[in-house]
């Protein structure tokens, strides 16, 4: 059988039971005494029993009241705890955020932001999805991730892009290569030396192709690499040189390798925070975005 008691009735009952007086309970709750009397009367009518034996000076709890009291206190405690948890969620102090990231941004940017947010928001939980650019943007567009750390999406995609940082492109060569001793290297070097290119689906390939087209450079293409770690191994083996964003260098062992800034022109990969247009993000996702921007970019718009 369902017993329909309101939280206000339970609160009034528990306060009268604690104070032993309708007058003192009313003062504690900031209510008029007739309001407390009416709430207790409604509860007694619903239950069909008296909860207090009253006289002019005190209210003595009955056997039925003693049975109800621990239940009422537990309900009120659980309700207060649930509202506290909701408040933490609404203020971004708790909750879950799913982040989709390129392998390089997932390794170089996400862990530090997670640690920084959990210092002040220890109840926050994370899921990290790693994917190449096209798949990553699809994950965000489909709503399977709250946000992504990626290159700028195409205009036709229903995605919002907020710039975070520029990731400069670097020459990757062997440490014993004469190029490793230089302060910078022009892009024209790829017309003279075997070039190890990224795969067509990579977020890196459009960048290198754009520079070659702009400078009318015809690279000496040696082969394409399937992953950044494979690129490092191919360069270390002496099969050629490559151009990689600086953040990707953390995905490979740099033992026996060197990275040198590329110039004429200076090119970079723009990395930003990607969210789906029209999706309401949980407050904790906004807190995570603010942490990323504080570490690497500017204040959120």
- Parallel, antiparallel, or unpaired: how do β-strands 94-101 and 147-150 relate? parallel
Q: What is the pLDDT of residue 78?
A: 77
Angle 33-47/22-29 helices, nearest 10 degrees?
A: 110
Q: What is the pLDDT of residue 59?
A: 86
How high does pLDDT run on average in the chain? Answer: 89
Contacts of 100 (CB under 8 A, 6+ apart): 128, 129, 130, 131, 136, 139, 140, 144, 145, 147, 148, 149, 150
Provide the pLDDT confidence category of residue 301 given band limits of 50, 70 and 90: very low
Tell me the HSE value of 241 on the side-chain side, using a 13 A CA sphere: 28
> What are the backbone angles phi and psi of residue 59, rounded to the nearest 5°?
-120, 120
Strand partners, 223: 196
Q: What is the pLDDT of residues 226-272, one digit of tens each?
A: 999 999 999 999 999 999 999 999 999 999 999 999 999 999 999 99
Q: What is the pLDDT of residue 73?
A: 87
Report the pLDDT averaged over residues 101-111: 94
Q: What is the pLDDT of residue 208?
A: 96
Cα–Cα distance between 163 and 301 in angstroms, integer?
11
The sign of the torsion formed by the CA atoms of 138, 141, 142, 144 equals: positive
Greater model confidence, 203 or 103: 103
Q: What angle do CA 260, 261, 264 make, to 5 degrees?
A: 130
Burial class (CB in 10 A: 0-12, 13-18, 19+), 16: buried
Cα–Cα distance between 292 and 216 in angstroms, integer?
37
Q: What is the pLDDT of residue 300?
A: 39
Contacts of 199 (CB under 8 A, 6+ apart): 205, 224, 225, 226
Contacts of 121 (CB under 8 A, 6+ apart): 92, 93, 94, 284, 287
Range with lowest mean pLDDT among 78-82, 100-104, 254-258 = 78-82
pTM score over 0.75:
no
Q: How is residue 107 written in tokens? A: 């390794």
> What are the backbone angles phi and psi of residue 131, rounded to the nearest 5°?
-160, 155
Of 287, 275, 291, the C-alpha closest to 95 is: 287
The neighbour count for residue 78, using CB atoms within 10 Å, is: 10
Q: What is the pLDDT of residue 86?
A: 56
Whether the pLDDT of residue 119 is over 80: the answer is yes
Q: What is the pLDDT of residue 122?
A: 85
Q: How is residue 19 written in tokens? A: 């104070």
Provide the pLDDT confidence category of residue 165 given band limits of 50, 70 and 90: very high
**Segment (H or E) for 149:** strand 147-150
The answer to whether 149 touches 271, Cβ cutoff 8 Å, is: yes
The answer to whether 144 touches 205, Cβ cutoff 8 Å, is: no
């Amino acid at each position: 059988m369902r017993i329909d008691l309101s939280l206000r009735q339970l609160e009034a009952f528990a306060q009268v039971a604690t104070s032993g007086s309708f007058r003192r309970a009313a003062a504690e709750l900031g209510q008029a005494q007739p309001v407390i009397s009416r709430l207790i009367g409604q509860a007694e009518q619903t239950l069909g029993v008296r909860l207090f034996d009253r006289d002019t000076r005190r209210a003595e709890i009955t056997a039925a009241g003693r049975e109800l009291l621990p239940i009422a206190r537990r309900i009120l405690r659980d309700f207060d705890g649930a509202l506290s948890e909701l408040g933490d969620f609404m203020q971004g102090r708790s909750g879950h955020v799913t982040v989709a990231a390129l392998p390089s941004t997932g390794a170089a940017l996400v862990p530090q932001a997670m640690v920084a947010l959990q210092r002040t928001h220890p109840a926050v939980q994370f899921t990290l999805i790693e994917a190449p650019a096209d798949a990553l943007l699809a994950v965000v567009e489909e709503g399977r991730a709250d946000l992504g750390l990626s290159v700028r999406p195409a205009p036709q995609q229903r995605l919002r892009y907020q710039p975070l940082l520029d990731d400069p492109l670097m020459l990757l060569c062997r440490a014993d290569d004469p190029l490793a001793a230089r302060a910078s290297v022009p892009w024209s070097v790829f017309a003279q030396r075997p070039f190890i290119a990224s795969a067509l689906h990579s977020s890196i390939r459009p960048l290198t192709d754009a520079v070659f087209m702009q400078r009318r450079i015809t690279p000496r293409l040696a082969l394409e690499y399937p992953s950044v770690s494979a690129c490092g191994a191919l360069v270390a083996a002496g099969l050629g040189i490559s151009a990689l964003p600086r953040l990707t260098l953390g995905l490979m062992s740099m033992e026996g390798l060197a990275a040198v800034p590329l110039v004429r022109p200076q090119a970079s990969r723009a990395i930003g925070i990607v969210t789906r247009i029209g999706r309401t993000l949980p407050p904790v996702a906004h807190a995570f975005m603010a942490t990323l921007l504080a570490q690497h970019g500017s204040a959120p718009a």
